[in-house]
Amino acid sequence: MIHSPARTTALLALALTIMGFMPYPTIAGPASSVLPATSLLSATADAAPTDNAVFAPGPDALPAPPFNGILEISGAVLQSQPQLKNRVILGRDALKFPSSSLEFTTLNDVLVPIQRGTMVGESKHSGLPSYWQVIPQFGKVWREPNDSGWSRAAFPIMLVNDTENHAHQGLATFLYQEGRVSQLKLQFVQQTAPWLLSPHVVLWTKAAVQLRTGNPDTQNAARTAAVHELADRLEARPLREFAPELPAETFSKLSEPVPPRWRVARALVHNNILYYESEATPFGAYPYPLEMRFGVRSIMKSVAAPLSLLRLAKVYGPYVLDLHIGDYVPGADPKWSKVRFIDAANMSSGYGGVGSLVTQPNEEGSGYLDNDYNGWYQAPSIAEKLAHMRSHLTPYPWEPGRVMRYRDHDFFMLGIAVNNFLKSVRGPQADIWAMLQEEVLKPIGIYAAPAVRTREPNHQQGAVWFSAGYYPTLDDLAKLALLYENGGAWKGEQLLHRELTLDTMMAKGALDKDGDGSADRLVVRDGPQPAHLYRMGFHFIGYTPSDSTVRTYLPTMSGAGHNEVVMYPNHVVGIRIAKVGDLPPGEKEPPYYSDNIPRALDMLMSYRRTHPQ
């Protein structure tokens, strides 16, 4: 696409305005007084992390010269507080920052990572490999008078991995001048919920860096792409601006029943404006909250499956939902020949015979983590996961589509089947996640979608997990929810099958999670208490607004750690990111699917109706 110079200038101005909504904290003096240049030029390890404020320009910052180059970052030992219970996980070192090669350019004062939104793996290692990959995001460059001619650069960076879908939200900074760079200071001060890694930790280190010259053409293209990417973000404002007259505790209800120490970020989308807030870290406010990427666990079930099925239904027809898993997954148990794509998306395959056979009332989680779940979860390849299922799980006696039982295995099988179906119609190089990125995510302004894949022999590209593994931002989650609420349309373009999308949002064909839904798959228990419903990766929360007697069912994306995205009528979205997991002895986990968020948002929306701006 070719844009005129005037158009590009306008987009740049808009992009930088959007960046300006980031609330950089004010500190008592310049960053150089808290983190002097001599500290960044020294390889001496820091005893503890620094106030997060030094990773962003303060009010007295000066313009910096452009930065263009590749940072060759050496591996480094991460310090941890508290200490990890197990440093080595699956033969990889969780206290080793991975050696990596990251390329950057600048757009005015914005530091632009070429690999932003990409899971960058370890470039080389000696001894045990690192457990981690990194995702860099947009940062800043600036100058301070006390830095002896050096300029400063800082950027958000996430520690992620290809085994468990949690992320450590971090910050990095370095000095640069005339072809030279300092040490790279890194600290990871927030995180989403862990699974294999324990306990919750703060990590920090310094890493040696070599500077190499990058490719000017690559850098020019990255700057142009960054302009459009930033301009396509939703308008963003601090959450307090939604209704500034209300007491602060009003907004805290958006995250209940999760207590503050387990919260990471929250947001409210109204009139296409993203109102956001991140929780304080042990070292102050995180200066780039809109750049945070989160490990959202099973929220991926509400992304990969419905986007795939609804996009394929739009392109090829609704019949795709009735195709059978067994026809597209060689080596699967014979029962999968009866399981339709939509049955797997509803977690009603009737496979995984562990736990109770009682379905009235049903126990959706019965047997979920039994029979060596971790063995299956950690199996790296498609073949190894299938082999584990054959040896540990069996068919249930009921037919597919009748009983909802929570099984990550159903979404794993669906992902393989959908991917193979796409290859059957588009050729062997087709990939379902690449298709979604090009045909759905980019059109709605999501330009990067890092996600975990299976690890296949000989470095073959693995299949994206459909059960977990996605690392979105708040802006990404907001856009996905708005796309669903708008019937799969975005700015006049119909990206998903409209009728099926609207039916899904209204819970049509949803299964009652508490019972056998074969007789009536609609709201089969909608009496004094709301039913608990599930369809195509979405949980549905029953809710009656304060100004109505009519119960509605709110489509909800939900993931372990108490991550939640709740979709309301009129394109209103509530988002909560949390890190509940590995709780200390005696602490009780808060309930899922609470009505606190619906009630808090109902109160806020009522306030806005009676106090229009």
pLDDT 10s digits, 378-404: 999 999 999 999 999 999 999 999 999
Same domain, 410 and 320: yes
Average pLDDT over residues 145-159: 95
* Tens digit of each residue's pLDDT (9 = 90 or more) over 392-436: 999 999 999 999 999 999 999 999 999 999 999 999 999 999 999
Same domain, 142 and 258: no
Question: Could you tell me which residues are beta bridge partners of residue 33?
Answer: none
**CA proximity to 233, closest of 486, 20, 24, 446:** 446
Same domain, 168 and 218: yes
Average pLDDT over residues 141-147: 94
DSSP for 76-131 reads EEPEEES--S-SEETTEETTEEPPEEEEEEEETTEEEETTTTS-BPPS--SSSPBS
d(CA 344, CA 405): 10
pLDDT at residue 17 is higher than 90:
no
Element (H, E) at 391: helix 382-392
Count of beta carbons in the 10 Å neighbourhood of residue 371: 18
- Count of domains for the chain: 3
d(CA 420, CA 422): 5
Least confident of 9-13, 51-55, 139-143: 9-13
Same domain, 372 and 500: yes
Same domain, 218 and 250: no
| Residue 463 forms part of a structural domain | yes
Give every CB contact of residue 530 below 8 A, 6+ residues apart in sequence. 541, 542, 543, 551, 553
| Residue 556 forms part of a structural domain | yes
| Residue 44 forms part of a structural domain | yes
Question: Could you tell me which residues are beta bridge partners of residue 464?
Answer: 453
Q: What tokens does 278 get?
A: 């991140």
pLDDT band at 9 (very low <50, low <70, confident <90, very high): very low
Beta strand 489-490 pairing with 493-494:
antiparallel
d(CA 18, CA 20): 5
Among residues 515, 532, 560, the one where a domain terminates is 560
Same domain, 139 and 264: no
| Residue 238 forms part of a structural domain | no
Same domain, 310 and 276: no
Name the packing angle between helices 498-505 and 474-485 (round to 10°).
100
Same domain, 450 and 342: yes
Same domain, 93 and 224: yes
Same domain, 84 and 178: yes
Same domain, 186 and 247: no
| Residue 588 forms part of a structural domain | yes
Residue recorded with tokens 């379905």: 359
| Residue 290 forms part of a structural domain | no
CATH of the domain at 555: 3.40.710.10
Among residues 231, 253, 269, the one where a domain terminates is 231
Average pLDDT, the chain: 91
Average pLDDT over residues 126-145: 95
Average pLDDT over residues 269-292: 95
Query: Which residue range is the domain that position 248 belongs to?
Result: 243-285+569-613
Is residue 74 within 8 A of residue 209, CB to CB? The reply is yes
pLDDT band at 341 (very low <50, low <70, confident <90, very high): very high
* Tens digit of each residue's pLDDT (9 = 90 or more) over 452-498: 999 999 989 999 999 999 999 999 999 999 999 999 999 999 999 99
| Beta strand ranges found along 453-598 (DSSP E) | 489-490, 493-494, 511-512, 533-535, 538-543, 552-559, 563-568, 572-578
| Residue 236 forms part of a structural domain | no
Same domain, 267 and 388: no
C-alpha dihedral sign at 269, 231, 295, 45? negative
| Residue 95 forms part of a structural domain | yes
